[in-house]
Chains A and B, each alone.
Chain A
Amino acid sequence: MADEVILLDFWPSPFGVRARIALREKGVEFEYREENLRDKSPLLLQMNPVHKKIPVLIHNGKPVCESMNVVQYIDEVWSDQNPLLPSNPYQRAQARFWVDFIDTKVFEPADKIWSTKGEVQEKAKKEYIEALKILETELGDKTFFGGDTFGFVDIAMTGYYMWFEASEKCGNFSIEPECPILMASAKRCLQRDSVVKSLPDPEKIVEFAFKIRKIYCV
């Protein structure tokens, strides 16, 4: 019986992109459905009534929500290829630790960079770079966070890599001089087939960022 896989998503979302990448890493056929977040579909409201957010993976009619839960689910269900998490429990714990770090220490300031200005934005920029530097230390001289293979932590970060240019332009700063090693890994991730197929044009993200900045940042 063929699997029915639908992804409810929003094109510039750094969280939605994680699900897209994971599905493509596993070679899973899926139907991508674009959500208008100002006019959410009845399906989205039905499948994620608690949060009403994307991404939502609908697998044979059953919804999975929250981006990294979706990625873990994809890894567990389509376990026969390209494991996204290592098999060793300690290494898995390390990967989960760093994803938690990303979703707290990178997420909060990143969000403020495009949506605020002045002192609040300056503080956010500082915290953002500090967090990226910690990640860079963790990356060390590895190709990817997982070592030689692209995996869980890299997928989580790719959502932020895709927003680097938009963040730099909104905040009027440059990431590469601060974190050259992380940037090199980011570039490797952005060249990956599953990522290239999943990411929108970076110029469109910059355009989108400025559009919403006008709304949030009066």
Chain B
Amino acid sequence: MEEKKSKVTLHGMWASPYSKRVEIALKIKGIPYEYVEEDLSNKTETLVQLNPVHKKVPLLVHDGKPVAESQVILDYIDETWKNSPRLLPEDSYERAQVRFWVSYINQQVTEVMGQVLFQEGEAQAKSIEEAKERFKVLEDGLKKDFPNKTIRGNDDVGLLDIIIIATFGSHKVYHEELGLEISLINPVNTPTLYNWIESLKELTVIKEAEVPSDRLVPFLQMYRQMLLQQAANA
């Protein structure tokens, strides 16, 4: 095993769930890293130079080499630091299943969740209906494809777990504090997903990475107002 000291830097943003995914992956693998908080309205030279195509966070820099796009970064981390936990299963078919649901969350679910959080009135009502359907698909899929899922410790954390906790970890905040009347994730409608999240939250490394709700709530409220204003002006 390589003992050479490597330098790992993560350029991230505290409220970004994509940034959070990488943070959790690094922590769960015990990889020491330096964190650079990016102000997205005033990006560092380094970010712009090392991710010229997208200029986005998260950006991982490993011994000077940049890796961009959260999913690409997570695969890179798993393939470079082969210690436990492995983020993807050994079996090719199981890997394909994990990738399928990660894709579903990334493409179908985050989009509609964003719409629910940042729309109002009729548009929001419509998005809520769409969101309920997509969460049902996710719930049924997770139940069917991962029937024996248990989280006993860090070794049980893989790619799908990271995506789930980073994307949905703050779901109670949305419901309780943002005045969203319905909860999309709850023990009645989405018990598998709900319990999966609760189990992950028991882990110390996950608790330590949690975004504090007293910071997240005003941020989301401000962001929501900004997007509603933009939509009104359009």
Question: Which A residues lie at the B interface, using CB under 8 A?
Answer: 50, 59, 62, 64-66, 69, 72-73, 76-77, 89-90, 92-93, 96-97, 100-101, 134
Instruction: Assess the A93–B75 pair: CB atoms within 8 A.
Output: yes
Provide the residues of chain A in CB contact with B62, threshold 8 Å. 90
Instruction: Assess the B53–A134 pair: CB atoms within 8 A.
Output: yes
Q: Of all chain A residues, which has the CB nearest B81?
A: A89
Provide the residues of chain A in CB contact with B80, threshold 8 Å. 89-90
Chain B contributes a number of interface residues (CB within 8 A of A) equal to: 23
Provide the residues of chain A in CB contact with B75, threshold 8 Å. 92-93, 96
Question: 11 A-B contacts, Cβ less than 8 Å apart?
Answer: A64-B96, A69-B100, A89-B79, A89-B80, A90-B76, A90-B80, A96-B71, A97-B67, A97-B68, A97-B69, A97-B72
Partner of B137, one of A50, A65, A66: A50
CA distance A64 to B101 in the complex (A): 12
Q: Of all chain B residues, which has the CB nearest A97?
A: B72
Provide the residues of chain B in CB contact with A73, threshold 8 Å. 92-93, 95-96
CA distance A84 to B68 in the complex (A): 21
Provide the residues of chain B in CB contact with A89, threshold 8 Å. 76, 79-80
* CB contact under 8 A between A69 and B76, given known A59-B93, A97-B68, A134-B53: no
Question: Which B residues lie at the A interface, using CB under 8 A?
Answer: 53, 62, 65, 67-69, 71-73, 75-76, 79-80, 92-93, 95-96, 99-100, 103-104, 137, 141
Instruction: Assess the B67–A93 pair: CB atoms within 8 A.
Output: yes
In the complex, how many residue pairs between chain A and chain B have their CB atoms under 8 Å apart?
A: 56
Provide the residues of chain B in CB contact with A59, threshold 8 Å. 93
Provide the residues of chain A in CB contact with B92, threshold 8 Å. 73, 76-77
CA distance A117 to B149 in the complex (A): 49
Instruction: Assess the A64–B79 pair: CB atoms within 8 A.
Output: no
Q: Of all chain B residues, which has the CB nearest A73?
A: B96
Partner of A66, one of B68, B79, B103, B141: B103
Provide the residues of chain A in CB contact with B95, threshold 8 Å. 72-73, 76
Give, as a whole number of angstroms, the nearest-CB distance from B189 to chain A. 18
Provide the residues of chain A in CB contact with B67, threshold 8 Å. 90, 93, 97
CA distance A62 to B91 in the complex (A): 13
Interface centre among B72, B103, B104 (most CB of A within 10 A): B72
Provide the residues of chain A in CB contact with B68, threshold 8 Å. 97
